[in-house]
Amino acid sequence: MSVLDLPRPAWMGEDLVLLSDTARRFFLEECAPHYDRWEAQGAVDRDIWLKAGETGLLGAEVPEAYGGPGGSFAHDAVITWEANRAGIDGWGGPLHSAIVVPYIVQYGSEEQKQRWLPRLVSGELIGAIAMTEPGAGSDLQAIRTTARRDGNHYLINGAKTFITNGQLANLIVVVTKTAPGEGAKGTSLFVVETDETEGFRRGRALDKIGLKANDTSELFFEDMRVPADALLGHGEGEGFVQLMQQLPQERLLIAIYAMGRIERALAVTLDYVKARQVFGQAVIDFQNSRFVLAECKSEATIAKVFVDHCIERHLRGELDTATASMAKYWVTDLQCTIIDRCLQLHGGYGYMNEYPIARMYRDARVERIYGGTNEIMKVVIARTL
């Protein structure tokens, strides 16, 4: 049940209602009981990936011919929303399914699809995408990782940082320069199966303020030798266009994470303010609490309607990057505002880690930074003025 009184969106057919029930049960029964331990160990258990695969929650967009369910982004949207509504924010499944897998589905050769997609659907392969470097985040064109052809191989050299799923991933889409002097045209993507690759090294799992159950990491490539057919696309130099084409989906996905968390924040806060007694009455009975929650519910409803509109447009292939950037920036900002107000309504208990709102406060903050910062979203939107 949602705390928002909205009708089921038009994009969500009966099959998606069933998927949503399956996903909710999986996250509440298989993930939630282990979440504190995952946070303490800084990563989810590897076997949760295999269980998610068995339950049909990975690689929703993979066609049946490659072992997938042949779904669409609508399936990823439902799974992502349920994961976040259940508080399973640190599991990198949505990034794997809706960000990494589409690169192979859309740009992979027949041979690459057969080699990787079935194992991405089963959870045997865990995906990551490595764009960011110590010296290049917002300015992706400044990346310095190089890939140099060497016979039937490429040698890749460089360092990446902040990579989600970085310790567990064994299939990584790596952004490189094959022609360093040529700006965007010199960018190429490689798909690296790390289990069999010389010259690949994982650095530290980074110590973050939130999302502690995710193994966000540094990665190093030292003469990393990959076969020439690890290149994605028809030839060198297609990487920047591939990255740009995937932006609307990546940004919309982050807005959906935020929407799921907003709903969770409202749900846990409503439960809390109804139960907590102060000055002989429930916290929800103070006019201030009612007004704050009325504002939150109104803004959350407006956000959900806009996110549903973006999902519908995306499913028709009509979502442009600027509109997706509006969703990413506005809903992730709103998420932080709403979670902050909800924490305040918890009083001191909101600052205690044993209350879900405390972890939500820590976990939400990064959404305004990753996937392109919200300032970069505004740069993109402003170009349309």
Residues that bind ligand FAD (CB under 6 A): 129-132, 137-138, 162-164, 208, 211, 216, 366, 369-373, 375-376, 379
- Distance in angstroms (rounded) separating the CA atoms of residues 115 and 124: 12
Could you tell me which residues are beta bridge partners of residue 282?
A: 277
Pick between residue 28 and residue 136 the one whose CB is nearest to ligand FAD: 136
Closest to ligand FAD by CB, 164 or 269: 164
Q: Helix %, strand %, coil % for the chain, to 5?
A: 55, 15, 30
For the chain, the maximum distance between any two Cα atoms, rounded to a whole number of angstroms, is 78
- The position carrying tokens 């109804």 is 274
- Nearest distance from C-beta of residue 292 to ligand FAD, angstroms: 28
Shortest Cβ distance from residue 299 to ligand FAD (Å)?
A: 23
CB of 129 to ligand FAD, least distance (A): 5
DSSP label at residue 180: G
Residue number closest to ligand FAD, CB atom? 137
By C-beta, is 197 or 373 nearer to ligand FAD? 373
Q: Which is nearer to ligand FAD, 345 or 376 (CB)?
A: 376
Nearer to ligand FAD, 172 or 259 (CB): 172
Determine the 3-state secondary structure of 299 from DSSP: helix
DSSP string of 188-247, one letter each residue? EEEEEEGGG-TTEEEEEEP--SS-TTS--EEEEEEEEEEEGGGB-SSSTT-HHHHHHHHH
Cβ atoms of 60 and 72 closer than 8 Å: yes
CA of 70: how far to CAs of 67, 233, 277, in Å? 8, 22, 50
Please state the closest distance from residue 243 (CB atom) to ligand FAD, in A. 10
Q: Give the C-alpha separation, 41 to 35, whole Å.
A: 10
Spatial separation of the C-alpha atoms in residues 245 and 320, rounded to whole Å: 9
Who contacts 309 (Cβ-Cβ below 8 Å, separation ≥6)?
none
| 250 is known as an active-site residue | yes
CB of 133 to ligand FAD, least distance (A): 8
Beta carbon nearer to ligand FAD, 304 or 328: 328
Out of 61, 250, 263, 367, pick the active-site residue. Answer: 250
Q: How many C-alpha atoms does 161 have within 13 Å on its Cβ side?
A: 12
- Rounded to a whole number of angstroms, the minimum distance from the CB of residue 201 to ligand FAD is 17
Catalytic residues: 250
